[in-house]
Structure 1
Amino acid sequence: MIQRIPAYPDRLRIALLILNESHWSRSILDGVARYALEHGNWDFWMHPRGIGAPPTLPDDWRGHGVISRISNESLRQSIAQHQLPTINVSWHGVHSRRFPKVIADPSGGGKIAGEFFVQRGFENIGYIGPPLCYSYQDQVLPEVVKSAEGAGCRTYQFAPDPAAPQPDFDFQRTRLVEWVRSLPKPVGIVAWNTIQAREIILTCGAEGINVPNDVAILAVEDDPLVSKLSPIPISYIEQRVEQVGYEAAKELQRIIGGGEPSDDPILIAPEGIVEKASTNTVFASDALVRQAVQFIQRNSDIAITVSDLTRHLDVSRRSLEERFRKVLKRSPAEEIRMTRLNVLKAHLRQTGQTLAEISQQAGFSCENAMLRFFKRMTGMTPGEFRRNHPQDLLDNAS
């Protein structure tokens, strides 16, 4: 039974039992902090903690609610004895009214990852799931397979050795090398995290396998530091993890105020793919399509049209349209729009430039034209997009 407070307090005392050594977890904490800053009067209890440190809530702690990564039964019991409203932000376990979940949508991430490689024209798609020591029920893999095989692609899953001294990648390198060697090329690989993605890139480098042309790599989550330490920056799914923390805090405050826990988890849908060098290729058997995409990328800061493409390539518009549809499953105009959108998102994430400055650098006739384009493509304003990515600016300023 959840303990209900008799009167809403002037200040909320909230326990944060969340890993704080990883970028994912720190992003959740960023979202919690943003909500608390906007609404005021929140005090937090927390301790620095890595994945190897077992968390518990002290028996004598007194507060009003808990936000936790509930990853094991001992932690669940430790929190349960306090009978406080609790939000679970972990993919571990199942949603319940006692421990309702607010999480990034894992199935949505798998779907968008599979579709990304399908749209790029890959016929072979590999997958490396969570390390065995994480004990996750993998909800990403089924959607990757469904998206890939539904489009006629072949899928290949890495199988770690459960008899290894430890089931992480320090003890799986030989097996990983053999798996990467065995994959038909070119292949797009979806990796559970950035650490695994970096291991694949290192493996490919040692084996003389070209990244991204032979092996393209996409991480389910992002860790900017690990990506910087990689020989090649790593593409990832924008999971909106900071928004997970924000919505978790919002839901906790609603329950503390007397609201009933939801019957279903609150799932934060992924935003899309943030593309870095690890997937920056277009696999296509059609050389003309490759040349067209390269021209679009070289001129991503200019308002080019399909007519510019046809003149540059000396090909008819109808022929170009047909070949794009056959190879990439989209039109040249869609490719131009998506490339320009990615340029805008990069400016918004990574710089503090004004919208007027960004619109000029991205080749728009005026700021209003850029605003209309961005809203039409994403459903949000550039300002809203930037507010959802405050950490990106911090990372690039450090």
Structure 2
Amino acid sequence: MTRHQAAQRTHRIALLFNANKVYDREIITGIGKYLLSTRVAWDLFLEEDFRARLNGIERFEGDGIIADFDDPAVSDALSDCPLPVVAVGSSYEDESRYPASLPYIATDNPKLVTLAYTHLIGAGLQRFALYSLPESPENRWAQEREQAFKTILAADGLEADIHRGLPTSAPVWNQASAQLTSWLQSLPKPVGVIAVTDARARHLLQACLISGIAVPEEVAIIGIDNDPLTRSLTRIPLSSVIQGTEEMGRTAAHLLHQMLGGARFAGRRILVPPVGINVLESTRHQPVSSPYVMRARHYIRQYGCQGIKTEQVADYVGVSRSSLEEHFRRELGYTVHQEILNHKLDIAKQLLARHDMSSAEVAVRCGFTSLQYMYAVFRRELDCTPREFQERLHRTQAQQPG
């Protein structure tokens, strides 16, 4: 076999991930992007239902494996695997938790939590809490985030308030929601709460909406994962830390590529930091002293794009329109109508930034009475049309490095 023929050989690679989770999907995306950017020829094995099924994995007649080692069953199944394996998973404070004989690509838990914490401080908050997961071998990564949270707060002389809650399952859902609501109500306000995942952040937001706790005035919420599916299920858009998952996938694929050529990386560890934060409404904390303004803004964030009027907001708050207007002028310097308009404008800008719907569709989604009215609002508030706003945004994004 010539060197050229050897270089072109197709390798059979198994990806052992639960791609029903956004974290795993984005790692797989990173692997795919590495393959597209190189001349690597891999025949990828991934279960049709995207779950990592381990039955018979020891008989996999392939050349290498990239696997999610956050799942103890996966790490156990591959403990004696003769094939080259690259492990991907959580970072650990205890070095002994890493597999000694394998290269390991880790998300940097302390940096994830630090970024979320620093963001909440920047929003003007002084009290903090964490919503985690029940302790279990499968949730070791969540407990690592708990420990990071405790360490960060201790360094600032603060005590960590952590609620693990119950597992997500239908039989205990009502009980879990009641416990979470009780915990949220017990927290001193205002407070910033970090959720160990976006799914947990959504639970927090639901509990706040049901119990009338204003988000983000009383409780500011930030998750981890930047999951678009979770964002589509919430009335108030959730801020979230963006993990470096695609970079983890690219790095894992690069290491395995080298291992297939004879390189050895036993015990090598690479920690991948977060990319940044997608800052949305759930942490745009603006302290106000009036409980009426808090409740009004809470209502507007949920229903501002559904054609509500000032009278409906006042009815929800439980005061007269004139009284609510007076509170708004005193606290914010503008009217309730302007707050509704500001909310519509913010959502319109977010939708236009996605480039996947027309201006007419955006106008309908945001509750503007007509496309012409949305154009007039953009002209008055931003000195541009919606299309010009999109073009400005596109130029700005094109000028950014990377």
- Same fold, judged at TM 0.5 (above): yes
- Judging changes above 3 Å, is the alpha-carbon distance between structure 1 residues 167 and 158 closer, same or farther for their aligned structure 2 residues? farther
Shift of 1:180: 0.4
How far apart, CA to CA, are the structure 2 residues paired with 1:42 and 1:267?
Answer: 25
TM-score in terms of structure 1 length: 0.66
Q: 1:126 is matched with which residue?
A: 129
Gaps of 5+ in 2: 1-5, 290-349, 357-387
How far apart, CA to CA, are the structure 2 residues paired with 1:258 and 1:167?
Answer: 51
Q: 2:42 is matched with which residue?
A: 42
TM-score in terms of structure 2 length: 0.66
**Aligned with residue 161 of structure 2, among 156, 181, 189:** 156
Decide whether the 8 Å contact of 2:353 with 2:393 is kept in 1: no
- Letter of the aligned partner of 2:82 in structure 1? Q
Residue by residue over 1:295-333, the C-alpha shift from the partner in whole angstroms, topping out at 9 and shown as x without a partner, is xxxxxxxxxxxxxxxxxxxxxxxxxxxxxxxxxxxxxxx
Q: 1:114 is matched with which residue?
A: 117
Shift of 1:266: 0.9
Shift of 1:244: 1.2
Shift of 1:251: 1.3
- Judging changes above 3 Å, is the alpha-carbon distance between structure 1 residues 150 and 79 closer, same or farther for their aligned structure 2 residues? closer
Decide whether the 8 Å contact of 2:13 with 2:65 is kept in 1: yes
How far apart, CA to CA, are the structure 1 residues paired with 2:91 and 2:17?
Answer: 13
Decide whether the 8 Å contact of 2:133 with 2:165 is kept in 1: no
How far apart, CA to CA, are the structure 2 residues paired with 1:272 and 1:348?
Answer: 21
Decide whether the 8 Å contact of 2:91 with 2:107 is kept in 1: no
- Letter of the aligned partner of 2:32 in structure 1? A
How far apart, CA to CA, are the structure 1 residues paired with 2:240 and 2:171?
Answer: 23
Decide whether the 8 Å contact of 1:129 with 1:191 is kept in 2: yes
Residue by residue over 1:78-136, the C-alpha shift from the partner in whole angstroms, topping out at 9 and shown as x without a partner, is 33443111111122883234232112211110111111112222111010123445331
How far apart, CA to CA, are the structure 2 residues paired with 1:55 and 1:151?
Answer: 44
Decide whether the 8 Å contact of 2:134 with 2:166 is kept in 1: no
Decide whether the 8 Å contact of 1:197 with 1:217 is kept in 2: yes
How far apart, CA to CA, are the structure 1 residues paired with 2:352 and 2:244?
Answer: 15
**Aligned with residue 392 of structure 2, among 338, 348, 361:** 361
- Letter of the aligned partner of 1:174 in structure 2? A
Q: 1:194 is matched with which residue?
A: 198
| Secondary structure in structure 2 of the residue aligned to 1:36 | helix
How far apart, CA to CA, are the structure 1 residues paired with 2:352 and 2:31?
Answer: 22
Q: 2:57 is matched with which residue?
A: 58
- Determine which structure has the larger helix proportion and give its number: 2
Q: Matches of residues 1-398 of structure 1 in structure 2 within 5 Å?
A: 10-40=9-39, 41-49=41-49, 54-91=53-90, 94-133=97-136, 134-137=138-141, 138-151=143-156, 153-160=158-165, 171-261=175-265, 263-283=267-287, 350-351=354-355, 361=392, 382-384=400-402
Decide whether the 8 Å contact of 2:189 with 2:218 is kept in 1: yes
Decide whether the 8 Å contact of 1:113 with 1:144 is kept in 2: no
Decide whether the 8 Å contact of 2:65 with 2:83 is kept in 1: yes
- Letter of the aligned partner of 2:45 in structure 1? W
Task: Point out the more displaced range, 132-141 or 98-107.
Answer: 132-141
Task: Point out the more displaced range, 256-265 or 18-27.
Answer: 256-265
Q: CA RMSD in A?
A: 3.6
How far apart, CA to CA, are the structure 2 residues paired with 1:57 and 1:348?
Answer: 48
- Judging changes above 3 Å, is the alpha-carbon distance between structure 1 residues 198 and 73 closer, same or farther for their aligned structure 2 residues? closer
| Secondary structure in structure 2 of the residue aligned to 1:34 | helix
Shift of 1:64: 1.4
- Judging changes above 3 Å, is the alpha-carbon distance between structure 1 residues 9 and 169 closer, same or farther for their aligned structure 2 residues? farther
How far apart, CA to CA, are the structure 1 residues paired with 2:114 and 2:35?
Answer: 32
Residue by residue over 1:338-387, the C-alpha shift from the partner in whole angstroms, topping out at 9 and shown as x without a partner, is xxxxxxxx8998449xxxx8896259xxx6xx69xx9xxxxxx6251xxx
How far apart, CA to CA, are the structure 2 residues paired with 1:274 and 1:220?
Answer: 10
| Secondary structure in structure 2 of the residue aligned to 1:201 | helix
- Letter of the aligned partner of 2:145 in structure 1? V
Find the structure with the greater CA-based Rg: 2
- Letter of the aligned partner of 1:217 in structure 2? I
| Secondary structure in structure 1 of the residue aligned to 2:207 | helix
How far apart, CA to CA, are the structure 2 residues paired with 1:265 and 1:73?
Answer: 18
How far apart, CA to CA, are the structure 1 residues paired with 2:100 and 2:258?
Answer: 14
Decide whether the 8 Å contact of 2:125 with 2:190 is kept in 1: yes
| Secondary structure in structure 1 of the residue aligned to 2:128 | strand
- Judging changes above 3 Å, is the alpha-carbon distance between structure 1 residues 59 and 161 closer, same or farther for their aligned structure 2 residues? closer
Shift of 1:178: 0.7
Shift of 1:193: 1.1
How far apart, CA to CA, are the structure 2 residues paired with 1:60 and 1:278?
Answer: 48
Task: Point out the more displaced range, 176-185 or 251-260.
Answer: 251-260
Decide whether the 8 Å contact of 2:91 with 2:106 is kept in 1: no
| Secondary structure in structure 1 of the residue aligned to 2:65 | strand
How far apart, CA to CA, are the structure 1 residues paired with 2:279 and 2:234?
Answer: 15
| Secondary structure in structure 1 of the residue aligned to 2:18 | coil
Decide whether the 8 Å contact of 2:88 with 2:248 is kept in 1: yes
- Letter of the aligned partner of 2:16 in structure 1? L
- Letter of the aligned partner of 1:44 in structure 2? L
